[in-house]
Chains A and B, each alone.
Chain A
Amino acid sequence: DAKTTQPPSMDCAEGRAANLPCNHSTISGNEYVYWYRQIHSQGPQYIIHGLKNNETNEMASLIITEDRKSSTLILPHATLRDTAVYYCIVRALLGQGAQKLVFGQGTRLTINP
Chain B
Amino acid sequence: SAVISQKPSRDICQRGTSLTIQCQVDSQVTMMFWYRQQPGQSLTLIATANQGSEATYESGFVIDKFPISRPNLTFSTLTVSNMSPEDSSIYLCSVESRTGANVLTFGAGSRLTVL
Looking at the assembled complex, report how far the CB atom of A5 sits from the nearest CB atom of chain B, in whole angstroms.
Answer: 14
Q: Is the CB of B108 within 8 A of A102?
A: no
A interface: dominant SS: loop
Identity of the chain B residue whose Cβ is nearest the Cβ of A95 in the assembled complex: B100
Cβ of A49 and Cβ of B43 under 8 Å apart? no
B30 contacts A46, CB within 8 Å? no
The smallest beta-carbon distance between B45 and chain A, in angstroms, is 5
Query: Interface size (B, Cβ < 8 Å)?
Result: 26
Q: Roughly how many angstroms separate A86 CA and B97 CA in the complex, as a whole number?
A: 19
Chain A residues closer than 8 Å to B48, beta-carbon distance: 100
- CB neighbours of A85 from chain B (8 A): 42
Q: Does the CB pair B108–A42 fall under 8 Å?
A: yes
How distant is the Cα of A1 from the Cα of B94 in the complex, in angstroms? Answer: 19
14 A-B pairs (CB sep. < 8 Å): A34-B103, A42-B108, A42-B109, A43-B94, A43-B107, A43-B108, A49-B102, A93-B100, A98-B104, A100-B33, A101-B45, A101-B104, A103-B42, A105-B42
